[in-house]
Amino acid sequence: MRLISRLLAATALTLAFGTAAASAKTLVYCSEGSPEGFDPALYTAGTTFDASSRAVYNRLVEFKHGSTEIEPGLAESWEVSEDGTEYTFKLRPDVKFQTTDFFTPTRALNADDVIYSFERQLSGDNAWNQYVPGASWEYFNGMGFPDLIKSIEKVDDLTVKFTLNRPEAPFLADLAMDFASIMSKEYADQLEANGNMEQLNQQPLGTGPFQFVAYQPDAVIRYKAHPDYWAGKQPIDDLVFAITSDASVRAQKLLANECQIMPYPNAADVASMKDNDALNVLEQEGLNVAYMAYNTTQAPFDKVEVRKALNMAINKEAIIDAVFQGAAVPAKNPIPPTMWSYNDAIKDDPYDPEAAKKMLEEAGVTDLSMKIWAMPVSRPYMLNARRAAELMQADLQKIGVNSEVVSYEWGEYLDKSKAKDRDGAVMLGWTGDNGDPDNFLDTLLGCDAVGGNNRAQWCNEEFDALVSKAKEISDQGERAKLYEQAQEVFKREAPWLTIDHSTVVMPMQKSVQNFVQDPLGYHRFDGVDLAE
Amino acid sequence: MLRFFLSRVLVLIPTFIGVSIVAFAFIRLLPGDPVALMAGERVMDPERHAQIMAQLGYDRPLIVQYLDYLFGLFTGDFGTSIVTKRGVAGEFFTLFPATLELSFCAIVIAVAIGVPAGVFAAVKRGSWFDQITMGAALVGYSMPIFWWGLLLIILFSGTLGWTPVSGRISLLYYFPQVTGFMLIDSLLSGQEGAFTSALSHLILPSVVLATIPLAVIARQTRSAMLEVLGEDYVRTARAKGLSRFRVVGVHALRNAMIPVITTIGLQVGVLMAGAILTETIFSWPGIGKWMVDSVFRRDYPVVQGGLLLIALVIMIVNLVVDVLYGVINPRVRAR
């Protein structure tokens, strides 16, 4: 009986799609992996966000296409109180949720949806807080929201007020992040009533540009354009994610036009792709940084001159050539050049082994031996840490510093490298979450982060005062000035060797139009068209 | 025969428990834990880390966790993935048909080519055919699968354009999975060209996955045949004036098949291991890639449950092989 009903369903679907498929405009994206699930607040991976939050959902505010600036999303306007602790959002009227074969909404977006989307993460008593086992709401907690949010109130159907415990300038940028995606409370209520809550993580439903159709694990995700999308229906009719985890195979699929666009090509394939007449290759500096953090609490690395000397001994260009085949730029600041407040006036420490050697001698350091920690995994900001470490080792050898390259399993590496008494300089990196400089400068170098994200264990009062102050002001111009000064302090003190900002490369068929690269690393398909 | 069968089934029980212990211990012996890995570069507050580990039940003594897991197994509960939050058994049975379809095609190719090649090489021992076949088998056996797969893709999909690059079927076709086997589902869908598309997608991955088993089976068949062809009864059969085909195909091959069937049975385990690489290259949504991803994410329930289910499949195949011995060789079941 069950087989018969499935067969009938199959026939019905075949008829429905068989006729539609002929005329539909379909964009196939060779994605790099499977989403972990479809509730973006539960996860931290970009692959998951591309498949869930960026396709299916919207947020109160959004990142402008191709930038880290904030623009209105589901909130058409907002007001911030004088003291910076109250944010009142006016919601866009008549925003329709998607109608799918698993849910038909009866009402438009309202304040209840917004409150539900945050309450489920905020309150342990909320029925949705543990709707799947071990729901950790990683970003909500990671961005400090439990301590930050005092209350979220419904003023009227289309007005929501967030009250904070303290002023927090990056708050708006945080609300454009994936965990702040707005879900349908009506859909959630229905799932709860049916005792089928975990479906929220498997069949997403939001207000976004594309609506979810089906997911075959590890193979294909299908979406179609949301016909009633508040910003207008998308130019393409169907969006398909063909999950292809190997970069060489993705490249072959793109060349065969089995997909029209792909992320993360092999560095070695980029040159031939650029020469191919059928392809367009877009490039943009990523919102990331790779660094090597000295342990500034351990002698002799507690001396600025020693850290500076080591920085001057290392040839970053050679690392970029060997590891990225040129697809990266040398880093001089801890934040990438695409980020506002980037201080371009700062001069990088030059590559000068002779001067470095002299500087070490003057600092009274001889026979220095050190460890270089190399990550065991490839990350977007550092494709091959082992290779980079070996080049550094050779460079250091030239100024008489003996070094040993060490590595651990990834989980262990992350854990051990946090230790305050850690021996050696740690290679690591960061990819921006919300486009705010605070997300780099305070998160990675603030005094509070010592023993945690601050792998240099560097607590500098002057730097910390600047970034803390910048967090409390809402005027971006003033904040930028403080961050520029903070970068000067950073360069003077050199707690890190800043290595590179990698370039993000997106090859695509020439038929793909209006694809905009995103500095935050998202792959968004709203606005994308296909030439006939 | 029934007694023989039951005795083989009984042996499965301690094996199953043994595998459950190994699977449980294996993933926990690896450094790192699922919660820390979920946070990645973003450092998680140790208190929150402990809290989430407790929510997942990983703060309890190992023996309690194991007994809980074992109890779950006996009630058919293989646990829930920490990452995808889906049931492990559900995920397994969604992905398994893809692996099974691919492995089945691979083993068919391996047997269909490997056995005749081995027999022929044995009969023509020392000939150019024997030399070339055994040389090719040696190369095939030592072939790095990942490289071999990419090479075939670049040649047949890229340069010649004869086969699709990867996936199970062209994305133009969309129909719900009824059986999970794409060849069958594409036929059931009634969509024109769907079956051909599914078949064309199967060719390269099956050939790649079949490469090592084919080489092993060809070599094993050859050596088993050589041994049997030297036996007295074969000489007798020849002396009786039986046709060469009858001597080789009926008298010799039947006896030579016993070690070959063992080898084929053992290749199922090799196929599961080979599937990991083949599935990754050809974006084949099977259990191989699922298991590897889960090991990297330290998704304890998936690794435990998945290993156990894979072991169960291999045990069942071995049971079938044992029973087949009995069919081919009556002395086995008499023992």
The answer, yes or no, to whether residue A19 has pLDDT greater than 60, is: no
Flag if B36 and A418 touch (Cβ within 8 Å): no
Distance CA A446, CA A453 (A): 9
**What is the model's pLDDT at position A138?**
84
**What is the model's pLDDT at position A85?**
94
**What is the model's pLDDT at position B235?**
86
Instruction: Say if B287 falls within a structural domain.
Output: yes
Flag if A245 and B289 touch (Cβ within 8 Å): yes
Q: Chain-wide mean pLDDT for chain A? A: 91
**What is the model's pLDDT at position A13?**
43
Helix (H, G, I), strand (E, B) or coil at A136: coil
Distance CA B239, CA A58 (A): 85
Residue A60 CB-density burial (10 A; 0-12 exposed, 13-18 middle, 19+ buried): buried
Q: H or E stretch including A156?
A: strand A149-156
Mutate to test the interface with A, among B28, B37, B42, B276 (most CBs of A within 10 A): B42
Q: Is the pTM of this model over 0.90?
A: no
Interface pTM (ipTM) of the complex?
0.86
Token pair of B107 as six digits: 């083993």
DSSP line for B141-197: HT--HHHHHHHHIIIIIIIS--S-SSSSS-TT-----SSS-HHHHHHHH--TTHHHH
Mutate to test the interface with B, among A7, A132, A136 (most CBs of B within 10 A): A136
Residues across chain A = 532
β-strands A369-373, A402-406 pairing: parallel
**What is the model's pLDDT at position B177?**
84
The answer, yes or no, to whether residue A341 has pLDDT greater than 90, is: yes
Distance CA A380, CA A285 (A): 11
Distance CA B303, CA A271 (A): 39
Q: Find the residue in B nearest to A416 (Cα).
A: B32
Instruction: Say if B10 falls within a structural domain.
Output: no
Condensed to tens digits (0 to 9), the pLDDT of residues B30-59 reads: 877 888 777 777 777 788 888 888 888 888
Flag if B32 and A246 touch (Cβ within 8 Å): no
Flag if A246 and B281 touch (Cβ within 8 Å): yes
How big is the A-B interface in CB pairs under 8 Å? 166
CA distances from A307 to A208, A298, B96 (A): 48, 12, 54
- Cβ proximity of B295 and B310 under 8 Å: no
The answer, yes or no, to whether residue A18 has pLDDT greater than 90, is: no
**What is the model's pLDDT at position A23?**
63
Highest mean pLDDT among A351-355, B288-292, B311-315 belongs to: A351-355
**What is the model's pLDDT at position A2?**
46
Q: Does A415 touch chain B (CB under 8 A)?
A: yes
Q: For chain A, which domains are there?
A: 26-243+511-530 (3.90.76.10), 288-504 (3.10.105.10)
Q: pLDDT category, A125, cuts 50, 70, 90?
A: very high
Name which of A498, A505, A497 is nearest A325 in CA terms.
A505
DSSP line for A459-527: --HHHHHHHHHHHH---HHHHHHHHHHHHHHHHHH--EEEEEEEEEEEEEETTEES----TT-----TT
Flag if B32 and A138 touch (Cβ within 8 Å): no
Pairwise pLDDT comparison (B244 vs A197), residue with the higher score? A197
The answer, yes or no, to whether residue B239 has pLDDT greater than 90, is: no
Name which of B40, B166, B48 is nearest A135 in CA terms.
B48
Flag if A133 and B285 touch (Cβ within 8 Å): no
Q: pLDDT category, B334, cuts 50, 70, 90?
A: low
**What is the model's pLDDT at position B196?**
94
How close does chain A come to B173, measured CA to CA in Å?
A: 8
- Cβ proximity of B38 and A136 under 8 Å: yes
Q: pLDDT category, A423, cuts 50, 70, 90?
A: very high
Instruction: Say if B54 falls within a structural domain.
Output: no
How close does chain A come to B249, measured CA to CA in Å?
A: 42
DSSP 8-state secondary structure symbol assigned to residue A217? T
The answer, yes or no, to whether residue B13 has pLDDT greater than 70, is: yes
Instruction: Say if B26 falls within a structural domain.
Output: no
- Cβ proximity of A496 and A293 under 8 Å: yes
Contact residues, chain A, for B36 at CB < 8 Å: 411, 414-415
**What is the model's pLDDT at position B333?**
60
How close does chain A come to B121, measured CA to CA in Å?
A: 36
Minimum-distance CB partner of B41 among A18, A21, A428: A428
Distance CA B2, CA B8 (A): 10
Condensed to tens digits (0 to 9), the pLDDT of residues B147-183 reads: 999 999 999 998 999 999 999 999 888 888 889 899 9
Minimum-distance CB partner of B94 among A217, A253, A453: A217
Contact residues, chain A, for B282 at CB < 8 Å: 249
How close does chain B come to A256, measured CA to CA in Å?
A: 7
Structural domains in chain B (count): 1
Helix (H, G, I), strand (E, B) or coil at B296: helix
Q: Does A28 touch chain B (CB under 8 A)?
A: yes
Flag if A252 and B80 touch (Cβ within 8 Å): no
The mean per-residue pLDDT over the stretch B77-98 comes to 91
Helix (H, G, I), strand (E, B) or coil at A202: coil
Q: pLDDT category, B143, cuts 50, 70, 90?
A: confident
DSSP 8-state secondary structure symbol assigned to residue A424? S
Flag if A141 and B48 touch (Cβ within 8 Å): yes
Condensed to tens digits (0 to 9), the pLDDT of residues A55-80 reads: 999 999 999 988 888 999 999 999 99
Highest mean pLDDT among A57-61, A521-525, B187-191, B307-311 belongs to: A57-61
Contact residues, chain A, for B289 at CB < 8 Å: 218, 245
Count the alpha carbons within 13 Å of A119 in the hemisphere toward its beta carbon: 18
Instruction: Say if B48 falls within a structural domain.
Output: no
Token pair of A306 as six digits: 């020693």
Flag if B164 and A201 touch (Cβ within 8 Å): no
Q: pLDDT category, B332, cuts 50, 70, 90?
A: low
Instruction: Say if B44 falls within a structural domain.
Output: no
State how far Cα A462 lies from the chain centre. Answer: 29
Q: Find the residue in A nearest to B167 (Cα).
A: A219
How close does chain B come to A357, measured CA to CA in Å?
A: 33
Q: Find the residue in B nearest to A413 (Cα).
A: B32
Q: pLDDT category, A267, cuts 50, 70, 90?
A: confident
Flag if A252 and B153 touch (Cβ within 8 Å): yes
Q: Does A385 touch chain B (CB under 8 A)?
A: no
Structural domain for B318, as ranges: 88-333
The answer, yes or no, to whether residue A101 has pLDDT greater than 60, is: yes
Flag if A452 and B43 touch (Cβ within 8 Å): yes
Distance CA B103, CA B179 (A): 16
The answer, yes or no, to whether residue A433 has pLDDT greater than 90, is: no
The answer, yes or no, to whether residue B237 has pLDDT greater than 50, is: yes
Mutate to test the interface with B, among A3, A5, A14, A261 (most CBs of B within 10 A): A14
The single-letter code of the amino acid at B296 is F
Mutate to test the interface with A, among B174, B178, B188 (most CBs of A within 10 A): B174
CA distances from A378 to A293, A323, A429, A521 (A): 18, 11, 11, 16
Residue B90 CB-density burial (10 A; 0-12 exposed, 13-18 middle, 19+ buried): middle
How close does chain B come to A120, measured CA to CA in Å?
A: 16
CATH number at residue B279: 1.10.3720.10
Mutate to test the interface with B, among A31, A197, A200, A246 (most CBs of B within 10 A): A246
**What is the model's pLDDT at position A61?**
97
Q: pLDDT category, A8, cuts 50, 70, 90?
A: very low
How close does chain B come to A473, measured CA to CA in Å?
A: 25
Instruction: Say if B209 falls within a structural domain.
Output: yes
The mean per-residue pLDDT over the stretch A424-442 comes to 92
Which residues make Cβ contacts (< 8 Å) with residue A516, sequence separation at least 6?
Answer: A65, A66, A524, A527
Instruction: Say if B38 falls within a structural domain.
Output: no
The answer, yes or no, to whether residue A469 has pLDDT greater than 60, is: yes
How close does chain B come to A411, measured CA to CA in Å?
A: 5
Token pair of A123 as six digits: 């309150």
